[in-house]
With several copies, the nearest count.
Chain A
Amino acid sequence: MTTAPGAGDSCPDRLFGDVGWRFDALKPHAYNCNVVQNPAPSPAPTTKLTLDTALVLYQTMARIRAFEDAAEEASRGGVAVFGASLTDAKVRGPLHLSTGQEAVPAGVCAHLHRDDAITSTHRGHGHTIAKGASIEQAMCELFGRATGFNGGKGGSMHIADFSVGMLGANGVVAAGIPIAVGAAHAAKVLGRDTVVVCFFGDGAINRGPFLEGLNWARVYQLPVLFVCEDNRWSATTATDKMTAGAGALSRAQALDISGTTVDGNDVFAVYAAAGDLLTQVRLGQGPRFLHAVTYRVKGHVSVDAAQYRSPAEVQRALAHDPLLFAREKLQALGATSSRVAALDTAAREEVAAAVRAASAAPWPTAAAAFTDIQDLGAAQFR
């Protein structure tokens, strides 16, 4: 892995490897290596799900799952959040896993072009990968290596790949909302034909920027799709107990932003709903809202055993695992189980290679602590 940070090449060929079909078949403009300045308006998405599409969606989920399983493994002992002591784990600090929530980024980002932008949360691996970022560079970033997207400056909580329009995970709940809205506002001011997708959790809808950002998007009719990943939990607190009213979508509707609630563990449903909404956004109809109901299978951070939850609740969610569910659907669509298994294997191999590469990758130098801060004023200044 010798690519410089930020210079990641994430074209489909290299990204998805030789898996027997072309990513291009699904999305003509997607991940086009040349930034498409003014793409033609997207056609209305076909609700008929082809096998190829279904397989690509499954593949994205499998890659996210494999990535996070490996990251979790590499993080054991690497965080002291709940008083545990530190070892020299490969991934250190808070690691927020989106295990069980993969269908949301997979289904939504499948509709995005490379020059479309997304903003993410503290739980951002899925968004990063689904938007087309390199798994190897992502792993390097989690390992804190110079070859990571952020050169090791950000880690999991701040992972970003601007080259594919992934404008950053964020350590502050709801902070991505105004940023997404601003990115969409810039697109409108600059006459660009791109859209922005803004991901956030169910807990974020109780922070002020949620209201301000949604109001703003509607006032200026900006091209942004808000996606609430409703995993029922906010750290150790059940979100519904802290949330007045019917929740995310009804709040958006009160701001005259229409949208849909969808089973966030059904990647095909997410794909269909997001496609409809994004078509409206691309047609200049203003912001739209997707409320995706899913479940946070793991603890809040990797060291959180989440014993404050009922096991039954977790069991129910595991039974409705998005990959499990998609596998059944793929079978119904005619995919052999070996074809699906091959995707899993490929994902695990890709991730294993990324772990090897990241383990061998160079650390940032101490000097890097003083770059990328600001042009004026010495950083070493004491």
Chain B
Amino acid sequence: MSATRLSYAAAACLALENAMRDDARVIALGEDVGRGGIFGQYLGLQEKFGATRIIDTPISESTIMGAAVGMALSGLVPVVEMRVADFAMCAMDEIVNQAAKARYMFGGQGRVPLVARLPIGVWTGSAAQHSQSFESWFTHVPGLVVVTPATPQDNHDLLCAALACGDPVIYMEHKELWGLVDEVTPEARLPIGVARTLKTGSDITLVSWSRTVHAALEAATLAAAEGIRVEVIDLRTLWPWDRDAVLASAARTKRVLVVHEAVQVAGFGAEIAATVAETLGVRVKRLGGLRIPVGYAKPLEDEARFGATEILQSIRAFVA
């Protein structure tokens, strides 16, 4: 297999390019995709596939998503660009009541194979309306798949899997990972729903996803220096999520710390913690975002972020 160094954005772009080459049903639609998308995640694709398949759209989120539902029901596999997850608020009926429901509600007469890209996360200086993470919301909605890649390779592999999934996928890239560069093997494939254990350890299981995975790894390394052996699991997909991997690790370490950037209250960490506590009765802790809007000024924005230091503190307190 050939490996090449690609950014998180370019890795997804490559996955999409290959899918579009292999399958004429795959198209993409959204604002500014023709010039490559504002994060470069569609760079060069309109030149390669034309404006009929890389479709520039009006600023009409409801109809971008709603039309994609109609397209998917009619034989296309649309990639739906929402720019940032915050703007998907303008298309929630189309996501929740239409895309997620159509297959069931019509008794299996149709399917809605689409991939809705909803970039998440705090984004420097972008404040309250461009910094939100809604992953737990979508796990709550029957019919939806929820994917949250943390690395260029996973962004490539999981986008391939999402395009082949056959059901609506809420695909959540992190806005501060676009520039992350790493080795990518374009031939690699990965099923949705399988976590990856990035580091084994016997004292505590650290479960995370998306950007926070990198801080979790860093914290694990720092903890190792203190003699705390941390097992780090990147969940990668939140629906379905890899219960087996988490429970197996939890059964060994007896301590599970879930770490995520999204607001902790009613975040997906609650689901994992509750599941682990219910199933194994082992000790659980969460470290998630504070229940605050993201402020503009750095001192305010900083309160909505946390990194390896805070994770390390949680680890220490937990194993103490």
Contact = CB atoms under 8 A, between A and B. Distances in A.
Given A174-B59, A190-B76, A168 B125 contact: no
A370 B292 contact: yes
A208 B126 contact: no
A247 B127 CA distance: 32
B59 A373 contact: no
Interface string B14-49: 000000000001010001101100111000000000
B60 interface: yes
B68 A208 contact: no
A376 B178 contact: no
B118 interface: no
A372 interface: yes
A369 B292 contact: yes
A377 interface: yes
Classify the interface of chain B: helix, strand, loop or mixed.
loop
Interface string B91-112: 0011001100011111111100
B103 A373 contact: yes
B66 A175 contact: yes
B227 interface: no
B152 interface: no
Interface stretch (B141-149, B202-210, B217-225, B248-256): B141-149
B119 interface: no
Contacts of A284: none
A175 B94 contact: yes
Interface in B268-290: 286-288, 290
Contacts, number: 320
Which size bracket describes the interface of B in this complex?
A: 35 or more
Given A80-B124, A152-B107, A382-B286, A186 B70 contact: yes
Top 9 closest pairs, chain A to chain B, by CB: A93-B125, A182-B70, A178-B66, A144-B297, A150-B107, A152-B297, A155-B296, A182-B67, A92-B125
Given A369-B300, A369-B304, A370-B290, 16 more contacts: A149-B109, A154-B128, A167-B110, A175-B94, A175-B98, A189-B76, A203-B58, A209-B62, A213-B63, A236-B35, A237-B32, A242-B59, A363-B297, A366-B300, A368-B300, A381-B265
11 contacts: A149-B106, A154-B106, A155-B125, A157-B129, A183-B70, A373-B143, A375-B166, A376-B192, A377-B145, A379-B290, A381-B291
Interface of B: 9, 25, 27, 31-32, 34-35, 38-40, 52-53, 56-63, 65-76, 86-87, 89-90, 93-94, 97-98, 102-110, 123-130, 142-145, 165-168, 176, 178-179, 192-193, 239-240, 264-265, 286-288, 290-293, 295-300, 302-304
